[in-house]
Amino acid sequence: MKYQLQDISGQVVVITGATSGIGAAAARQFVAEGAKVVLNARNQERLAGIVAELGADNALAVAGDTADPNVCREVVKQAVAKFGKIDVVVPNAGIGKYGSVLDYSDEEVNEMMRTNFEGTVHIVRAALPEILKTGAGDVVIVSSVAGFRGGGVESIYAGTKHAQVGFAGGLDRELREKNVRVALVCPAGTETEFALGAGRTTDNPIMKEYLRPDDVAFQIVAIVKQPRSVRTHIWTLWSNKSTVINILT
C-alpha cells in the first residue's frame, strides 16, 4: 500500500526571503502542490515578478524587512485578508557575510544578526496566532549546518544560525501539544545569491558542487506533506560531492 502523504492543496504558506534561491524555489514547489503562497522580501519589483509567474490567484507579495515586527504583522494581515488563513510559515530570509569577525562594519553585522534571527522570531510571532486557529500547522525554519558547527570564516553568521536552532528547539517543545510542528531545515552550501560579494563569488567552481535551491525546497515541502502523526525537527542537507563535504566538515 502506498504511503499516504498529506494533500496540501489549499494550504496557505508564508515564505520570507522569497525573491530568489530557496525561498523562490519553495514558492514554486508549494504552488505546484496546490498551495497558496504569501511571499515577503525587501525588493518589491522582484516580488512582483514571482507573483506574475505563479499567478495572482496563487500568490500574494508583501514587501518589507521582517526584522521589523510591524512588517511581519502586515504580512499576516494581508495573507488573511486574501486567503482567509495561514497554515505554514517558512522563515527563510537570511544574510551571510564570510570573513573575520572584524571584517564588517557595525551596521553590516547588525543587519545580519537582525535579519537572520530577529526576522525569524518576528514572522513566527506574527503568524502563529493564525496558525493556531487552524488547529494544525507547521513552522519550517530555514537555518544552516553552521547552526551546529561554525567555520572559521563565519563566526557571526554561525552565531545567528545557532540562535535559530535554540529558538526552534524551545518552540518545538512549546507547540507540539498544540499540533503545530516546528522543523529546522539546515542545508550546507547552496548555489544561490546568498553571500555573493561578501565572501562568495559566482566564478568559484565549487559553487557548481553545492546543493541546488530546489533540493532544499523539496525538503521543506516534504516536511509539510508528512502525515500529522509524524514530526521532523532537524533535517540537515549536504551535497553528495565529497570535495564540498571535506571542506565543510
pLDDT at residue 90 greater than cutoff 90? yes
CB proximity list for 143: less than 8 A, separation 6 or greater: 161, 164, 165, 168, 184, 185, 186
pLDDT in tens, 144-180: 999 999 888 889 999 999 999 999 999 999 999 999 9
Residue 87: in which H helix or E strand, if any?
none
Per annotation, catalytic residue among 3, 104, 157, 210: 157
pLDDT in tens, 108-141: 999 999 999 999 999 999 999 999 999 999 999 9
pLDDT in tens, 10-34: 999 999 999 999 999 999 999 999 9
| Residue 157 annotated as catalytic | yes
Grid coordinates of 69? 515586527
Q: What is the pLDDT of residue 198?
A: 43
Helix axes 119-134, 69-83, angle to 10 degrees: 30
Residue 99: in which H helix or E strand, if any?
none
With cut-offs at 50, 70 and 90, classify the pLDDT of residue 205: low
pLDDT above 70 as % of the chain: 90
Predicted TM-score of the model (pTM): 0.90
Helical H runs in the chain? 21-32, 44-54, 69-83, 106-113, 119-134, 155-175, 213-225, 242-248
Q: What is the pLDDT of residue 62?
A: 98
Enumerate domains of the chain plus CATH numbers.
12-96+106-186+212-235 (3.40.50.720)
The one-letter code for the residue type at 160 is T
